[in-house]
């Protein structure tokens, strides 16, 4: 279980699973109806922004408001006005020939200023009761005057519906003047259902051309974005103020609107030739034309005084309402926090007349889920496979796509498709997957640091962690430089040491040697007793791999010289090491079994490096490098001298070997002279002048105070004097042992 979890957390499946879980959660949150509060808030934010950026286009038909504003209240008096004044106002509007006049006002109680209603407020001491009654009765009733004015033209009254629960039975609501024709299924289960209406005086409604409610849909944030087109009460369906004004204005005094119902709810309502799309509850999304006072406002007092020409109202839809704050008919909309309620009806009417509707059919939510799903799948599939920059660009592209879909749908097709929630969901999936990917990569980097930290320098490990793509553990062939080192005579002097002392000695020896290898960008492959195997140019590229290997070998030899006196003081023999270095094509990667494997190298180049280390004792050289390694040292300050041309055991092709002496600035003049003399002696030897070669090597051996290399060549020259080599002799010395 633990290993399986570890493999899972380190695989590319891990961020994909995280992304899949988030995508599933994001899709699940779109299913509840109503949607969660935060989702609804996000959707409304998208809607409000688009409404402000791209308001609807006016219809061209005059839609205006006769405003009972503060100035009108100052000129005429406080509200409510005597209804004879309201009747006069309505008569002047009718004189202009409007298509429909709608009151965003309720006349629910008799006018207290009507003559007969004033009777109880007049003292009998002023005038005898009978005479008072006869005088007041001779005066026209204000409600009657208003009823007469209402009946004189296309007038629509309005009222509010109450949705509060009421104890006891209520009298049935008066039937609507226009009965909805039902197309399709029964709309009643889908529309808002009210308790009772707060209607106007019956004598006023009897003379009206139409009657509609003025309720709005108030969202949880208090903003009006849509309005119901119809409300159910009792057994009947009632139209809104805007619907009734459209019906009357279209000349359908005796016609009926149509409501189309499908299985999931209301699809549209129709008034004459105007088909208005709705949501499934019959609500109309308002395509606002702009902020407050977008439509013409005509002060009521100017109409009463005749300052406004009657022709102003010709062919217009006229709403009578108020913008005065004290009369409490102010709303909040996506455009303004203070918006006259009467103007909301104006926007609804103009929207219907222009046919510039906002639509959010049921299938829109399906579209939102589909493109959220597709975007999520794209992110889940590709994010773990590409780098961080490309991941960010991909996520940004997806988010731009989401925004463009929402924007284009709204501007071109007036479809309300939510962008904000998919945007945030996309960002959340990207962020979670990026974090999961980061955890996975950190876990892998931790493994890299753990796996390579004991074999590479911290600098190289950090570089490897930053660029793991440069690491190939699967196995590859590349040119590399391999180093083998071994303590000479280790077996004999280790036998005289206790295990504790031997362990302590090896730790003291291995620690600085390992540091030198790692500091020169080498990888410590393994320790074999007292031997060290290391290689360069893997796992990271190292163009100077041969030079770095040689410099690490020189540092090892210098450190050994510094440490030798300390060991001698402890009673140990003088310690010498031999180092062999070769460069060539090598296979590198993880090798071993399913249970245990190691990052190592194999190949002929590795074998040759091991043979060269063994030859160091034979030639009395501290460091031997092959001709292939020396080829890489030509442009460096590392000094070598030719030792021999040999054919090692197990290889048919001969190889020239060299002794690595030192860096140029550390070579003395005496060493330079000795090198030149040795090269001259070697040339005599290869030219078959064994007598001269013998003399030269013998002199060099004497001058050097005993040189194993010179004695070896002197012995070969002496042997060839006695028994000359064959004519095809090429100077190659064949080794018969490792």
Domain regions of the chain by residue span = 2-53+361-447, 63-354, 472-667
Give 181-206 pLDDT, tens digit per residue: 889 889 999 999 998 888 899 999 99
Distance CA 414, CA 54 (A): 10
Beta bridge partners of 183: 260
pLDDT score for 297: 95
Ramachandran region of residue 168, left (φ > 0), alpha (ψ -120 to 50) or beta?
left
E strands, 385-504, in order: 476-487
Cβ atoms 352, 246 nearer than 8 A: yes
pLDDT score for 219: 84
pLDDT score for 347: 94
First-to-last C-alpha distance (Å) of the chain: 48
Cβ atoms 61, 350 nearer than 8 A: yes
Beta bridge partners of 454: none
3-state DSSP assignment of residue 583: strand
Cβ atoms 179, 88 nearer than 8 A: no
Give 601-615 pLDDT, tens digit per residue: 999 999 999 999 999
pLDDT score for 696: 92
pLDDT score for 140: 76
Distance CA 467, CA 451 (A): 15
Query: Diameter of the chain by CA atoms?
Result: 173
3-state DSSP assignment of residue 388: helix
Cβ atoms 423, 396 nearer than 8 A: no
pLDDT score for 231: 93
Beta bridge partners of 182: 259
pLDDT score for 133: 60
Q: Does domain 472-667 have CATH number 2.30.30.90?
A: no
* Residue ranges, the chain, pLDDT below 70: 1-12, 33, 116-139, 167-168, 170-171, 253-255, 442, 444-474, 592-597, 704-705, 737-738
């Amino acid at each position: 279980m633990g290993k399986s979890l570890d493999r899972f957390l380190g695989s590319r499946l891990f961020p994909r699973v995280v992304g899949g879980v988030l995508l599933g959660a994001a899709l699940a949150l779109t299913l509840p109806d109503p949607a969660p509060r935060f989702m609804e808030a996000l959707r409304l934010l998208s809607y409000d922004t688009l409404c402000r950026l791209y308001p609807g286009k006016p219809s061209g038909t005059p839609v205006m408001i006769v405003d009972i504003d503060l100035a009108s209240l100052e000129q005429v008096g406080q509200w409510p006005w005597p209804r004879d004044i309201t009747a006069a106002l309505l008569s002047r509007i009718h004189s202009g020939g409007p298509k429909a006049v709608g009151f965003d006002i309720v006349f629910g109680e008799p006018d207290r200023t009507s003559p007969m209603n004033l009777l109880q407020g007049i003292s009998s001491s002023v005038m005898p009761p009978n005479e008072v009654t006869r005088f007041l009765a001779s005066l026209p009733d204000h409600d009657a005057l208003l009823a007469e004015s209402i009946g004189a033209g296309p007038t629509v009254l309005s009222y509010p519906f109450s949705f509060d629960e009421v104890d006891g039975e209520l009298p049935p609501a008066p039937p609507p003047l226009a009965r909805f024709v039902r197309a399709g299924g029964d709309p009643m289960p889908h529309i808002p259902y009210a308790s009772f209406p707060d209607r106007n005086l019956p004598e006023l409604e009897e003379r009206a051309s139409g009657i509609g409610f003025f309720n709005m849909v108030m969202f949880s944030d208090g903003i009006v974005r849509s309005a119901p087109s119809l409300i159910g009460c009792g057994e009947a369906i009632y139209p809104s103020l805007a619907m009734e004004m459209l019906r009357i204005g279209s000349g359908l005094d005796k016609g009926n609107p149509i409501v189309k119902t499908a299985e999931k709810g209301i699809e549209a309502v129709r008034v004459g030739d105007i088909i208005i799309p709705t949501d499934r509850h019959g609500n109309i999304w308002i395509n606002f034309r702009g902020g407050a006072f977008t439509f013409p406002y005509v002060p009521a007092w100017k109409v009463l005084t005749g300052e406004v020409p009657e022709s102003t109202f010709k062919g217009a839809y006229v709403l009578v309402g108020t913008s005065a704050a004290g009369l409490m008919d102010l709303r909040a909309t996506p455009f303004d926090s203070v918006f006259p309620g009467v103007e909301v009806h104006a926007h609804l009417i103009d929207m219907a007349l222009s046919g510039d509707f906002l639509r959010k059919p049921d299938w829109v939510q399906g579209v939102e889920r589909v493109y959220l799903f597709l975007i999520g799948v794209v992110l889940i599939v590709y994010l773990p496979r590409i780098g961080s920059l490309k991941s960010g660009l991909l996520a940004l592209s997806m988010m731009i796509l989401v925004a463009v879909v929402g924007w284009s749908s709204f501007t071109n097709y007036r479809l309300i498709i939510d962008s904000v929630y998919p945007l945030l969901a996309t960002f959340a999936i990207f962020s979670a997957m990026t974090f999961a990917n980061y955890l996975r990569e950190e876990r892998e980097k931790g493994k890299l640091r753990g796996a390579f930290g004991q074999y590479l320098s911290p600098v190289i490990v950090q570089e490897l962690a930053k660029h793991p793509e440069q690491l190939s553990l699967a196995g590859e062939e590349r040119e590399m430089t391999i180093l083998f080192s071994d303590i000479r005579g280790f077996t004999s002097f280790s036998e005289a040491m206790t295990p504790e002392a031997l362990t302590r000695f090896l730790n003291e020896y291995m620690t600085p040697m390992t540091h030198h290898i790692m500091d020169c960008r080498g990888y410590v492959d393994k320790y074999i007793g007292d031997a060290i195997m290391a290689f360069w140019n893997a796992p990271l590229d190292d163009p100077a791999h041969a030079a770095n290997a040689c410099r690490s070998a020189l540092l090892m030899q210098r450190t050994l010289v510094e440490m030798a006196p300390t060991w001698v003081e402890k009673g140990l023999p003088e310690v010498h090491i031999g180092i062999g270095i070769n460069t060539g094509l090598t296979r590198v990667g993880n090798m071993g079994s399913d249970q245990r494997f190691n990052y190592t190298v194999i190949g002929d180049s590795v074998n040759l490096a091991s043979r060269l280390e063994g030859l160091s004792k034979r030639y009395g050289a501290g460091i031997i490098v092959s001709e292939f390694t020396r080829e890489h040292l030509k442009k460096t300050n590392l000094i070598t001298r030719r030792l021999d041309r040999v054919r090692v055991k197990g290889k048919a092709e001969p190889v020239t070997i060299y002794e690595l002496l030192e860096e140029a600035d550390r070579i003395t003049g005496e060493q330079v002279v000795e090198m030149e003399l040795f090269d001259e002696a070697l040339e005599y030897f290869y030219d078959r002048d064994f007598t001269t070669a013998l003399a030269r090597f013998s002199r060099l051996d004497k001058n050097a105070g005993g040189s194993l290399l010179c004695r070896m060549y002197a012995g070969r020259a002496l042997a060839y004097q006695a028994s000359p080599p064959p004519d095809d002799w090429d100077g190659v010395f064949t080794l018969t042992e490792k």
